[in-house]
Structures are given as structure tokens and as C-alpha cells.
Structure 1
């Protein structure tokens, strides 16, 4: 395993740590545990692409949440650039939530 591979993997973990500090304003669970983050890509140039969704297309934070994700990810020293792609395919459902999130919301 090259040093670079470990670096991007480590950066991926840092990104997840940052994502876990961002909360959906309507649900007291972070967006990562909520299942709103579908994928995090980091290339060898430390450019990040995040594929995410919202709980609904009419979500009141449809504008601000992706922007907050982008700003927080870009604030990491190693990240050169960050791009957020919103998708509603597949649409978000409660099945995407982690056990932790379901427990937090009293669904287990």
C-alpha cells in the first residue's frame, strides 16, 4: 500500500468526522448517521466529491445544508477542493439511517 493510499483513506476518515458535526435542523441526528451522505470520493490531488441527499427535495435547508457541508470539508487543511452533488436517486428513506440514529430517535 503506497503512502498516498493511506493518506486519502485517512483524509476520508477526517471528512467523515467533519460530516458528523453537521446536523439536520429538524432531526437531532448528524447527517452522516442519518444516511444523507451516499458517498465520499477523494482523489490523489485531495479533491473531494460528496454525493449526498436531503430528507426531502423541499427540505428547508436545501440551499444551506450542502453549502455547510462544502465549507466544512474545504476547511480541512489537506482538502484542495470540494464539490457537493445532490441527488434524490435513490430517495432518502428511514432505512438509510444508522442503528445509532434510529436508537436516538426512539425507532428501535
Structure 2
């Protein structure tokens, strides 16, 4: 999917480079003008690789989460996975490993 998204973005920026107005390309494709400009700038600077999906995670956090909070979240996630697996086994009336075999 990421490569497909990059090709589709390249197609949009190619339409604009081919002489179609950015506003017309944005309207025809349902993508906002600001996004078309951003993709065109990235394509101009980085080529096709600049059009791949990027993480929206901040580069740095103003106030990082305390380690104790992270540990609690991870423990709860592991617990939820165990609970979800067990409830699935109960609803299937068999151990999960037998169902997946």
C-alpha cells in the first residue's frame, strides 16, 4: 500500500506539472490545495521517495512520559492480550492453538 500511495501522489503532482492548475487538480481529486503543494514540493526535492507515507509522530516530546507510566501501559496491554485470547478460547470452546492448527 505505501508504494501505491506514493505512485498515486506522484500522479497527482504530475498532473499539476503537466500544466493543470493545482487548484483544479485538488478539486478534481478531492485533495486540499495545501496537500497538493506539499506533495509537489516533496517530489521536487526528493523524487518518488519523498511521496511515501511518513510518520506523524512528533520528533521530540515536550514532556516525555514517565517510565513508570510506560511500564503500566505495557503491562495492561499484555494483560488485555491474555484476556482477549482466553475469551476467544471460551467462545470457541477449544484452545486457540487447536483452532489455528
TM-score of the two chains, using structure 1 as the length reference: 0.25
Q: TM-score, normalised by structure 2?
A: 0.27
Which structure: greater strand fraction? 1
Which has a greater percent of helix? 2
